[in-house]
Amino acid sequence: MAALVFAVAVSLAVLPIARAEAKTYTPVMPTPTRISGADRYQTAVAVAKELYPSTASIVLIATGLDFPDALAAAPIAAKLGGPLLLTAPGSLPPAVGAELTSLDPSTVVLVGGSGAVSPAVASTISSLLPAATITRISGADRYATARALVDYAFPNGASNVFLATGANFPDALAAAATAGAQGEPLILVNGSAGSIDNTTVTFLYSLAVTGVFVAGGGGSVSMSILNQVNKMGLLAGMASEIDRYQTADAIASSAFGQIGSNALIATGTQFPDALSAATLAAATHTPLYLSTPTCIPEDTYDSIQIVTPKAVTLVGGTGALSQGVANYAQCATNHFDVTENVDVVATKTNGNYSSTCVPGDKYYWFFQPFRGATVPGPVDFLWTYRVSGPNLIIYYCAS
């Protein structure tokens, strides 16, 4: 978790997060490759073939019709060293059955209850793999299933965990990818609740957790939960920006900011193909970025470009990530620059973004209320800030 330990403000109103090192040159982006299938199930099979071209001793199976079980299972699959395949609840897709036969695992883990992975699916798998041990891991709900998965894969506990909402997929997707890459589990919570439920609190203590990284804030994980984790003495850091794309950027850039890293891109608007992207990212220790179906958000493109990736892979078909994304088409955003210590005024609404960091500098950001906010720091720092509704995001370079 060392790479994701961020400074925690006492009031928790502002949590600065170190971003990837910025560069003054413009690297040439590699031509992306694409991993995809005819549907969500075959995309998962394609990812499995990429990761395990011959056999695998263990395979996890989760429903492809909803996201919580599969996202919780992604870091578990990476921990156990096997692929995650998706199934329809009532029947096993033929392509998935063929891949199971090819992988010939000795253990198959069904993730979720009978409503997610039915007894009929279990029976089909048993007939395909008569020598395999078939185990079901489930709980009363998505949160209990996520805890049961962690209990299964981390019998000796875990020093650090990622915590994300189980009500929506984007933040949990980015967290699952990074958690798996770092060998750490993902715990799902009801992010809109006023507190973490007692069962999950007890579970955190039973794991002997010393650090909790919260993925998402505000609209996905409430400030009350963030304060609760902090009061427990477990808050190691958080990533929360103005949307799902920038939150994923913050997680990826902070965990995988080294130059020369590869990069994965998945859609941030649909979960099916993105589920497989989390598994691939976790298993290959690769940062995962989110994109709209038609264009890459400008900040996401900047984050990818900063690490000068050797390879970029799109996960999903052209319906999830269009040729525009493959061509690095960027979505327009409003940016403007500030080069001195000034009060922010509401009349400034447009401008142009420019990278002002120099080699050796670090790239940081602050989240502040818009009206009356003051750009912090010395006047000789170079600043960029962006307005989104009533909020202000301030970026700065510092040696």
Residues 263 and 354 in one domain: no
pLDDT band for 218, please (50, 70, 90 cuts): low
The H or E element spanning position 270 is none
Q: Which of 239, 234, 236 is nearest to 203 (CA)?
A: 234
pLDDT band for 392, please (50, 70, 90 cuts): very low
Residues 373 and 250 in one domain: no
Please give the tally of structural domains in the chain: 2
Residues 231 and 342 in one domain: no
pLDDT value, residue 242: 66
Task: Give the tokens for residue 192.
Answer: 């809109």
For 244, the domain range is 2-331
In this prediction, residues 279-293 reach a mean pLDDT of 93
Last residue of a domain, one of 278, 306, 331: 331
Last residue of a domain, one of 274, 308, 331: 331
Residues 237 and 297 in one domain: yes
In this prediction, residues 340-357 reach a mean pLDDT of 31
Q: Which of 74-88, 193-207, 252-266 has the lowest mean pLDDT?
A: 252-266
Whole-model pTM: value is 0.78
Question: Nearest 5°: phi and psi at 288?
Answer: -115, 125
Total Cβ atoms within 10 A of residue 261: 20
pLDDT, greater one: 297 or 258? 297
In the predicted structure, residue 396 carries a pLDDT above the cut 90: no
Pairwise CA distance, residues 74 & 279, whole Å: 5
CB 379 within 8 Å of CB 339: no
Task: Give the tokens for residue 240.
Answer: 């929360």
In the predicted structure, residue 391 carries a pLDDT above the cut 70: no
pLDDT band for 249, please (50, 70, 90 cuts): confident
Please report where in the chains the tokens 């928790």 appear, as a residue.
12
In this prediction, residues 303-319 reach a mean pLDDT of 89
pLDDT band for 355, please (50, 70, 90 cuts): very low
Question: Nearest 5°: phi and psi at 284?
Answer: -105, 5
Residues 212 and 107 in one domain: yes
Residues 202 and 144 in one domain: yes
